[in-house]
Chain A
Amino acid sequence: MSLNGQSKIPQILKNHEAEVLADWLGEQMAAGIRKDLLKEIELREECREFLELFTDAIQQGNLTNIQSTEWRSVREMLTSVSRTRTQKGFTPTETANFVFSFKQPLFKRLRQELGQNGEALVEEILSASNLIDKLGLWTTEIYQKTREEVILRQQEELMELSTPVVKLWEGILALPIIGTLDSARTQIMMESLLEMIVQTGSQVAIIDITGVPTVDTLTAQHLLKTVTAARLMGADCIISGIRPQIAQTIVYLGVDLADITTKASLADAFVLALKRSGFAIARSKPTI
């Protein structure tokens, strides 16, 4: 930036702080802020803080790189604004507009001050525009990141929720799987199943896949791995809850489940497990 040293923006901002702030607020009010989500007084406070930090930062003379230390406080401020807006339910456009709407009042001032010097005006507007674009993009980036964090947290919670190992009978465990089986889930599932096998000394484990929407080669692979690991520890696995479509898919995919005992329903698998453990079920009363 050849003009860095002589940029008029810091001076102009300092001289007209109040007017710029008022214009900017007006700009945002005119564009229509979400009154249901954000009070005017809060917006005013945010704008004032941003303008203050922005003026401070821009006075250091670095108008090109917002990742530098001069801009740290501005970045932090925008991060917190973006985060709170994400949580309140603003759209990405509304969030980014907080920064982009600053262009209008700033350019207006620049035009007023430098109107007679066309070349300098263009130069200033260009650098200011660049700078504000970068800050706006930063806001969007944070918005995205916050959203991703939410998704990640939900994924983790889902994972914890969805892999319970239940004891059905002495020596018989069941693992009802609900939802898609991916590698990370299989890992957790396998670990908790094996831990339970050790804890309870169970010899039979039933893996029920009624709740698994689709089975592809990878899912089948994961299932096979779990069964093999349980077998290595000395427990037999029975896979139950295979729906007709899934049986068809498994055969068409050429997955070999020949070494594994499979049953159509959990009830069938449970009866088999009881039989293997040496239990017998007898009805004490005839059916009515």
Chain B
Amino acid sequence: MERIAILQMGHFLLVTIQVDMHDHLAMTLQDDLTNRISKTSARGVLIDISALEIVDSFIGRILANIAKMSRILDAETVVVGMQPAVAITLVELGLSLKGIRTALNVEKGMALLRSSLGDSQGGSMDGDAEK
């Protein structure tokens, strides 16, 4: 069965959505991700949707829900790389995704996660030099 890979990078989980999201896939992702967060006690989740070209209200809501669930499990969520067309669609659908933090690309998203958690936690685990 099709699944979206969840990669672990230190205290962070990295999800890259490379395929068209359909409802079932989104539900599976929500399931997998919450499980992984609790298993790895991750502090941050970064979802890269730069390859996603179409969203509907359901996918939008799932994204918002994932963010809320992560928050409850004590992990920040950052959605990165949203396409302009996708952003316009979400706004027109009335989904402003409050509570989700956003960044332009993965690099900036990582920086945002790190700074929000304090460098001591994220930075050291990543082994990634601060730019």
Contact = CB atoms under 8 A, between A and B. Distances in A.
Interface of A: 190-191, 194-195, 197-198, 201-203, 225, 228-235
Nearest to B108: A234
B87 A203 contact: no
A233 B84 contact: yes
B7 interface: no
Contacts of B90: 229, 232
A264 to B, nearest CB: 25
A24 B79 CA distance: 76
B65 interface: no
B77 to A, nearest CB: 13
B34 interface: no
Given A229-B91, A234-B109, A194 B104 contact: no
Contacts of B35: none
Contacts of B87: 194, 229-230, 232-233
A232 B109 CA distance: 12
Contacts of B83: 198
Contacts of B82: 232-234
A126 to B, nearest CB: 57
Contacts of B86: 232
Nearest to A196: B84
A245 B8 CA distance: 53
Interface residues of B, number: 20
Given A228-B96, A232-B97, A194 B88 contact: yes
A240 to B, nearest CB: 21
Contacts of A230: 87
22 contacts: A190-B88, A195-B84, A197-B104, A198-B83, A198-B84, A198-B104, A203-B104, A203-B108, A225-B91, A225-B92, A228-B96, A229-B84, A229-B88, A229-B90, A229-B91, A232-B87, A232-B97, A232-B102, A234-B80, A234-B82, A234-B104, A234-B109
B18 interface: no
A191 B91 CA distance: 12
B84 A191 contact: yes
Contact of B105 (A201, A225, A228): A201
Nearest to A198: B84
A233 B105 contact: no
Nearest to B96: A228
A219 to B, nearest CB: 16
Contacts of A232: 79, 82, 86-87, 90-91, 96-97, 102
Contacts of A225: 91-92
A233 B104 contact: yes
